[in-house]
Amino acid sequence: MKQRKILLTENEIPEKWYNIIADMPNKPLPPLHPGTKEPIGPEALAPLFPMALIEQEVTPEKWVDIPEEVRDVYKMWRPTPLYRAYNLEKALDTPAKIYYKYEGVSPSGSHKPNTAVPQAYYNMKEGVKKITTETGAGQWGSALAFACNMFDIACEVYMVKISYHHKPYRKVMMNTWGADVFASPTDLTEAGRKILAQDPDSPGSLGIAISEAVERAATDPDTKYSLGSVLNHVLLHQTVVGQEALVQMEKAGDMPDIVIAPFGGGSNFAGLSFPFLRLNLEEGKNIRCIASEPASCPKLTRGIFRYDFGDTVGMTPLLPMYTLGHNFVPAPIHAGGLRYHGAGVIVSQLLKDNLIEAIAHDNLEVFEAGVEFAKHEGIIPAPEATHAVATVFKEAQKCKEEGVSRTILFNLCGHGNFDMKAYEDYFAGSLVRHELTQDAIEASLAELDTPIPQ
Ligand SMILES: *Cc1c(COP(=O)(O)O)cnc(C)c1O
């Protein structure tokens, strides 16, 4: 009997998160103050985040306990299933074995609640009354709205105005879980009013929405701010994904040669791959971990390793990361969640040390792969997840050409059921292959006057 679906019981939800920093040969460089450019300590983050999360941001401990209250909420959808993609393997006529971890079974449809839930929990424990955040495509805003509702905290989401109008049902999801959603720029903040004075019809941007959410948190002692990717504690929380997958692969009697995940800021990639990288670092295993990014926002494959701001305005600490420059504006392709100029600090250091790999795919190639996947495996991947599918196709093809069987595991980190507009545009032929010139990248990088890491 072919076993297609590998399931775990509630008791097999991990009890600890895995902190890869403990095993990294070169530790991440410190963040710098945006003004003085001197290293800053964790206390600089105190106005924005609860202490428990700041401690997790810098902890050297290898394993961090998952609170029982958080595991109880995880039980609503975790452990998530691991699938063997028999139909897809057959269709691709490849000797490769293909597995995928499916995070689309969460309430909001992606991996993001894995960190939204502990973030809301620690805020609640420290008496925070309200959490603010920004959202672009709406995946993060809906995950945080769900999590805040579970712990009785108010949630305020600044949603990029153009997405607010293009993706009305994401907004209604957030409202259903009790969150207030505002089309950013708003007239509720200094930052928003300033933009509206210059351009009353501004479509908004993630950079503006971040400024608004941060300002609200910084100016109200009962309010904190929350981020859904990039930061160390976010990557830490996502490691439940890979720890479960490791046990599931063992149950299937298999072990991946290659682990693949789409890459925006690094959270779902870290979540799946770090527990497998642990085996490379601890036991000398040689599992290839590949991050899949869009060719229109290729910070890992064409950016540089440099200190840069996390936001467009230049308010955040300077972080050592692969970046295209904080002024880089990606073309409006549909994988909203991958349109970020930089990469998380840990993942950047791992790439610099050649411990992980990266690949870029153009926007037609990924939808082609996504549609093919849906036809054989049923699930319609989120536009972000189709990037990983495209990398899987490439590696499966290589196996076929070389006549070798390798085991491939990838992160199907969300479904695309709220992203039908993107698929509609693809079917209508209105998506064009987007070429990003070297001149455009160099022009953006030339604007950086931030320190170069030694
Ligand atoms: C947010 C998001 C991403 C990109 O963010 P990462 O932090 O890189 O994971 C990718 N896929 C989905 C479905 C998302 O919601």
Q: Whose CA is nearest to atom 3 of ligand 1?
A: 337
More confident residue, 44 or 109: 109
Residues 383-413 as b/e (b if ≥16 CB within 10 A, e otherwise) read bbbbbbbbbbbbbbeebeeeeeebbbbbbbb
Flag whether pLDDT at 336 surpasses 80: no
**Phi, psi for 219 (deg, rounded to 5):** -105, 5
Question: Is 264 touching ligand 1 by the criterion CB < 6 Å?
Answer: yes
Ranges of each domain in the chain: 5-10+68-109+241-437
Does the beta carbon of 414 sit less than 6 angstroms from any atom of ligand 1? yes
Q: Which residue has the tokens 């305005």?
A: 313
350 pLDDT more than 80: yes
- Tens digits of residue pLDDT in 365-391: 999 999 999 999 999 999 999 999 999
Q: How far apart are CA 297 and CA 326, in angstroms?
A: 12
For residue range 172-220, list pLDDT tens digits in order: 999 999 999 999 999 999 999 999 999 999 888 888 898 899 999 999 9
Residue 298 CA: distances (Å) to CA of 184, 270, 382, 390: 26, 18, 19, 15
CATH number of 5-10+68-109+241-437: 3.40.50.1100
Single out the residue of 272, 334, 274, 330 nearest to residue 302, CA to CA: 330
Q: Does the C-beta of 268 come closer than 6 Å to ligand 1?
A: yes
Compute, in angstroms, the gap from residue 142 CA to the centroid of ligand 1.
13
CA 454, CA 242: separation in Å to the nearest integer? 32
The CB density around residue 416, as the number of other CB atoms within 10 Å, is 21
CB 213 near ligand 1, within 6 Å: no
- Entry pTM: 0.97
Give the pLDDT band (50/70/90) at residue 142: very high
Query: What is the number of the ligand 1 atom nearest to the C-alpha of 263?
Result: 8
267 lines ligand 1 (CB under 6 A): yes
Averaged over 226-238, what is the pLDDT? 96
Residue nearest to atom 8 of ligand 1 (CA): 264
Q: What is the pLDDT of residues 399-445, one digit of tens each?
A: 999 999 999 999 999 999 999 999 999 999 998 888 799 999 999 99
DSSP-assigned states of every residue in 166-191: H-HHHHHHHHHTT-EEEEES-SSSHH
Residue 418 near ligand 1, beta carbon < 6 Å:
no
Range list of H helices, 353-450: 363-377, 385-402, 420-427, 438-446
Measuring from atom 2 of ligand 1, which residue has the nearest CA?
337
Can you tell me the distance from the alpha carbon of 319 to that of 451, in angstroms, rounded to the nearest whole number?
Answer: 10
Which residues on neighbouring strands pair with residue 289, listed in sequence order? 259
